[in-house]
């Protein structure tokens, strides 16, 4: 969802991109999606996303997360024709906590208040600038920024957001656009 009330958040995201050394054009500024994932509390659960590229084969996005902002748990499903999206994350600035299935080690980050049922992957991976992680298709994951926020790249196979399946049923659609 993008509304005017989010335009100041877009500006904040641009500032984070610039401070992390990434140049973007004025046109790209307009394309930044401020997404609350239909959950209604953008500071708690949301993300600022700029899609740089999404061809039939690859997708590249730049994401800013504000301090402690959480991108909700989801996975990228396979379809009859596709394997499901493979996603590589690389941190540009700040600290990012990534949560995946496995031994419960969540310590530095936290589950957004009252949302325990919707954050089931609790194996914590702390990521700093230049750290990179590849998530295989079908892997449940969610992200949370540390106290200084985080700027990250995501490199993926083609992104079809309708194949993003969120644990929280109130989030019915994915990040940016539906390509089909
Ligand atoms: Zn994902």
Residues 140-156: tens digit of each pLDDT: 999 999 999 999 999 99
Q: How far is the CA of 68 from the centre of ligand 1 (A)?
A: 18
SS (H, E, C) 10-68: HHHHHHHHHHCCCCCCHHHHHHCEEECCCCCCCCCECEEEEEEEECCCEEEEEEEECCC
Q: How far is the CA of 89 from the centre of ligand 1 (A)?
A: 9
CA distance 68 to 46: 10
Model pLDDT, residue 96: 98
Superfamily of domain 4-179: Jelly Rolls (2.60.120.10)
Q: How far is the CA of 79 from the centre of ligand 1 (A)?
A: 16
Domain positions in the chain are 4-179
Model pLDDT, residue 173: 57
Q: How far is the CA of 20 from the centre of ligand 1 (A)?
A: 22
Per residue in 55-112, pLDDT (tens digit) is: 888 999 999 999 999 999 998 888 777 778 889 999 999 999 999 999 999 999 999 9
Q: How far is the CA of 141 from the centre of ligand 1 (A)?
A: 7
């Amino acid at each position: 969802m993008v509304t005017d009330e989010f335009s100041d958040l877009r500006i904040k995201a641009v500032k984070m991109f610039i401070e992390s050394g990434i140049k973007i054009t004025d046109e790209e500024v307009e394309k930044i999606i401020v997404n609350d994932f239909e959950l209604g509390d953008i500071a708690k659960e949301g993300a600022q996303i700029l899609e740089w590229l999404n061809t039939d084969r690859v997708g590249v996005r730049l994401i800013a997360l504000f301090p402690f902002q959480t991108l909700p748990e989801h996975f990228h499903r396979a379809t009859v024709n596709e394997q499901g999206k493979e996603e590589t994350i690389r941190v540009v600035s700040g600290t990012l906590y990534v949560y995946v299935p496995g031994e419960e080690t969540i310590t530095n980050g936290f589950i957004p208040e009252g949302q325990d049922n919707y954050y089931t992957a609790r194996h914590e991976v702390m990521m700093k600038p230049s750290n990179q992680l590849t998530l295989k298709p079908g892997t449940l994951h969610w992200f949370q920024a540390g106290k200084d926020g985080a700027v990250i790249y995501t490199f993926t196979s083609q992104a079809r957001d309708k194949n993003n399946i969120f644990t929280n049923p109130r989030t019915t659609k994915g990040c940016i656009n539906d390509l089909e």
